[in-house]
Amino acid sequence: MQKRELGRSGLEVSAIGLGCMGLTSSYDPPAARAEAVSLIRAAAERGVTFFDTAEAYGPHKNEEIVGEALAPFRDQVVIATKFGHKFGQELSQLGVDSRPEHIREVADASLKRLRTDRIDLFYQHRVDPNVPIEDVAGAVKDLIAQGKVRYFGLSEASARTIRRAHAVQPVAALQSEYSLWWREPELEILPTLEELGIGFVPFSPLGKGFLTGAITADTTFDSKDLRNSIPRFAPEARDTNLVVVHVLTRIATRKQATPAQIALAWLLARKPWIVPIPGTTKRHRLAENFGAADFELTAGDLREIEDVLAGATVQGERYPPFLQAMIDR
């Protein structure tokens, strides 16, 4: 697996990482624990060195699984986890909490669940409007000084928030949604990251599965699957949104690849400091996703994608309302 540096941080990771959220949450049914551990270890054995988890996934169960799976590989991998949420009985009761004392509590709890003595990359999961970002960055700076954390990251933060945080403690990476059907980061976020030397870690790089071509207008999801509540997965939006999949399929056929591989290769071609983190619960999808690092899109391929998408508009919001409200504007 090729390596990439996240911006100018000095943190080097595999060109494609593994997003572990779906192993325990959001896309029901979750994987059995033994299967999840096995899949994570299979990724590490393929040369993947970047693994993404969070206290919110499960909650807590995901970090426990990642910690168990990566214990034999700990010194060869980079583990990213996140702080900044408070929990209720239902997903819709999810809230934010980035008080410095809470950040410290989460760090200590995550270290235990991950079976490690340091968190390689500690993201603020969502910006907390009630806590100045300078206080958040300062709390993580203290954790770095204590050796509990190596690098600081943000998720779904605005350009202004990124700048304010970076002035207190250098931000190594921003994690936000970015893919062929969500390109808003190109307007302000990517230029800001390039200027400041911050890496970019796109989550949902395959559009929560839509860009794989496996989802059609007739697809139904498990009753607890988050996609049931996402507007752009509504049946009336899917036909319109399939235009993105059609162009990926055409290029994939020409290159003897899959639509998912072309979608990931497109992200890798955007900037050398972009590291997508697709997730899966299936071993064959693991091999497919990581194989995208071997595909290079030509200038003609990239132009074809741009030409088709220039006249296309993706229908529907990317989150249900309660999650949409957490986005830092």
Condensed to tens digits (0 to 9), the pLDDT of residues 10-41 reads 999 999 999 999 999 877 678 899 999 999 99
- Predicted confidence at residue 90, as pLDDT, reads 60
Res. 147 pLDDT band, cuts 50 70 90? very high
Q: What is the mean pLDDT of residues 119-123?
A: 98
Are 252 and 264 in contact by the 8 Å Cβ rule? The answer is: no
- Report the alpha-carbon distance of residue 279 to residue 288 in Å, rounded: 11
The 3-class secondary structure across the chain, one letter per residue, is CCEEECECCCCEEECCCEECHHHCCCCCCCCCHHHHHHHHHHHHHCCCCEEECCCCCCCCHHHHHHHHHHHHHHHHCEEEEEECEECCCCHHHCEECCCHHHHHHHHHHHHHHHCCCCEEEEEECCCCCCCCHHHHHHHHHHHHHCCCEEEEEEECCCHHHHHHHHHHCCEEEEEEECECCECHHHCCHHHHHHHHCEEEEEECCCHHHHHHCCCCCCCCCCCCCHHHHCHHHCHHHHHHHHHHHHHHHHHHHHHCCCHHHHHHHHHHHHCCCECCCCCCCCHHHHHHHHHHHHCCCCHHHHHHHHHHHHCCCCCCCCCCHHHHCCCCC
Question: Would you say residue 329 lies in a domain?
Answer: no
Q: What is the mean pLDDT of residues 297-317?
A: 89
- Predicted confidence at residue 249, as pLDDT, reads 94
Question: What percentage of the chain exceeds 90 in pLDDT?
Answer: 77
Are 38 and 1 in contact by the 8 Å Cβ rule? The answer is: no
Count structural domains, the chain: 1
Question: Would you say residue 90 lies in a domain?
Answer: yes
- Predicted confidence at residue 164, as pLDDT, reads 98
Q: What is the mean pLDDT of residues 128-138?
A: 97
- Predicted confidence at residue 310, as pLDDT, reads 84
Question: What percentage of the chain exceeds 70 in pLDDT?
Answer: 98
- Predicted confidence at residue 88, as pLDDT, reads 61
**Closest to 258 in 3D by CA, of 289, 234, 228, 220:** 289
Condensed to tens digits (0 to 9), the pLDDT of residues 33-46 reads 999 999 999 999 99
Residue 327 CB partners (closer than 8 Å, separation 6+) = 126, 156, 319
- Predicted confidence at residue 26, as pLDDT, reads 76
Report the predicted TM-score, pTM, of the whole model to 2 decimal places. Answer: 0.94
Res. 235 pLDDT band, cuts 50 70 90? confident
**To the nearest whole number, what is the mean pLDDT of the chain?**
93
In the set 27, 57, 123, 151, the catalytic residue is 57
Condensed to tens digits (0 to 9), the pLDDT of residues 74-83 reads 999 999 999 9
Which token pair is 135? 């206080």
- Predicted confidence at residue 129, as pLDDT, reads 95
- Report the alpha-carbon distance of residue 200 to residue 154 in Å, rounded: 10
Q: Annotated catalytic, 123?
A: no
Question: Would you say residue 42 lies in a domain?
Answer: yes
Question: Would you say residue 48 lies in a domain?
Answer: yes
Supply the range of the domain harboring residue 8.
3-324
What CATH number is associated with residue 52? 3.20.20.100
> Is the pLDDT reported for residue 47 higher than 60?
yes
Q: What is the mean pLDDT of residues 189-209?
A: 97
- Predicted confidence at residue 28, as pLDDT, reads 66
* Stretch among 112-126, 155-169, 298-312 having the lowest mean pLDDT: 298-312
Which residues are 306's β-sheet partners? none
Q: Which carries the bigger pLDDT value, residue 127 or residue 223?
A: 127
